[in-house]
Amino acid sequence: MFYREAGQFKTDYASDQALFPIAQDRWFVLAVLFVAVAVVPFFVDDYWANAITLPFLIYALAAIGLNLLTGYCGQVSLGTGGFMAVGAFSTFKLTTAFPELNFIVVILLSGAITAGVGVLFGIPSLRIKGFYLAVATLAAQFFLVWLFNKVDWFLNYSPTGQISMPPREIFGILITGPRAAPEAKYLFCLIFIGIFALLAKNLVRGRVGRSWMAIRDMDIAAELIGIRPLEAKLTAFAVSSFYVGMAGSLYFGVWLGAAEPIEAFGIEQSFLVLFMIIVGGLGSILGSFLGAAFITLMPILMKNFMVDGLQLAVVTAKHIEITMLGVLIIFFLIVEPHGFARLWQIAKEKLRLWPFPH
């Protein structure tokens, strides 16, 4: 009834190719953005920022990055944790070596460095495909984490084996460090991720994104119609690693503040981000957000329910939580293998016909 595009005429190409061609979609997105920018900051305290909003936003960025590679270009990667580590350690080295450098520049540079490393580890993808490639990317995961753990230069010779983020300001507002306000951290991440999600969305509708999708669907056929696999695959690795690197940078710099390579960037991280894009929807930017929301929120809800609601011991709750996570993943894969993004699409189609389905 409310979700109809009848009467919305497009009179030029620009409006036909707009990101959200239907007016209701536009309003909806604007409303969500308005709530996120103008309402949520008033409710964000330390707990909300550190347990819910920051993990959600940062994992969403990482998920977009992985989705570009796996969902759009079809190259399965299990090295996300390692690439996040590259971003985090680049941030650490850059901020400590050049204290006057703007934090935004630091994040972008960290992303660029990660992109370089990503291209390096993406080279085997030109020859290896499918699960062979997935396992090969584990080499990146284990090697990078080992490297950061072993070579003291990366840790600035820290005796504890930990890296910690010095406080940094942007436009006079403290963003990193323990004394930064949760609202500031939240808004900074929100703006950052909003801009890059928009860029990603536009990237995948353009020439580059289309060449990735052609490679994903069938690389030989793509080659025959004139897409260079080398170019397409390596750009996918570069852009994906750029995003993942920035996510790692924010993960360490803004959210955690201090990190220890093996624990913070282990293989669990890689799986977690992969879960997000699969539960959310492969090849969908919206899906990356939905998947990140689900995977970050679900454990918190379950823990609250079991520890506070049912008075279970924390250890037992942890085991049940792992089991339930597994069950839910299998359940969602069975019910809707294309993820939340597909459910969202179905809901919209239903809504268009509602309340008269025939």
Binding site for another protein (CB under 8 A): 70, 76, 124, 127-132, 134-136, 138-139, 142-143, 145-146, 149-151, 218, 220-221, 224, 267, 271, 274-275, 278, 282, 316, 319-330, 333-334, 337
Which distant-in-sequence residues (6+ apart) come within 8 Å of 170 by Cβ? Answer: 102, 103, 104, 188
Query: If you ran DSSP here, which 8-state letter would residue 230 be given?
Result: H
Amino acid at 85: A
173, 184 in Cβ contact below 8 A?
A: yes
- The answer to whether 94 and 101 are in contact (CB under 8 A) is yes
Pick 23 or 123: Cβ nearer another protein: 123
Output Rg (C-alpha) for the chain, integer angstroms: 21
**Could you tell me which of 66, 9, 2 has the C-alpha nearest to residue 353?**
2
Distance of CA 152 to the CA centre of its chain: 29
Please name the residues in contact with 84: beta carbons below 8 A apart, sequence gap of 6 or more: 62, 244, 245, 247, 248, 251, 265, 269
Cβ at position 298, least distance to another protein in Å: 13
Cβ 143 to another protein shortest distance, Å: 4
Contact assessment for residue 354 and residue 1, using Cβ atoms and an 8 Å cutoff: yes
> Dihedral of CA 37/38/39/41: which sign?
positive
Shortest reach from residue 71's CB to another protein, in Å: 10
Residue number, 124 or 182, with CB nearest to another protein:
124
Of 59 and 196, the one with the shorter C-beta distance to another protein is 59
What is the nearest approach in angstroms of another protein to the Cβ of residue 277? 10
By C-beta, is 146 or 305 nearer to another protein? 146
As measured in angstroms, the least distance from the Cβ of 276 to another protein is: 11
> Residue 226 Cβ, how far from another protein at the closest point, in Å?
14
Task: Of 288, 270, 275, 265, give the one whose Cα is nearest residue 325.
Answer: 275
Nearest to another protein of 127, 179 (CB atom) = 127
Q: Among candidates 325, 239, 219, which has minimal Cα distance to 279?
A: 325
147 or 181: CB nearest another protein? 147
Shortest approach of another protein to residue 212 CB, angstroms?
A: 16
The maximal CA–CA distance of the chain, rounded, in angstroms, is 70
Q: In terms of CB distance, is 1 or 220 closer to another protein?
A: 220
Nearest distance from residue 196's CB to another protein, in Å?
25
In the bound state with another protein, the residue whose beta carbon lies nearer, of 104 and 139, is 139
- Which residue's entry shows tokens 């990140």? 292
Instruction: For residue 250, give the nearest of 32, 73, 79, 65 by alpha carbon.
Output: 65
DSSP-H helix ranges across 53-180: 54-66, 80-97, 103-122, 130-150
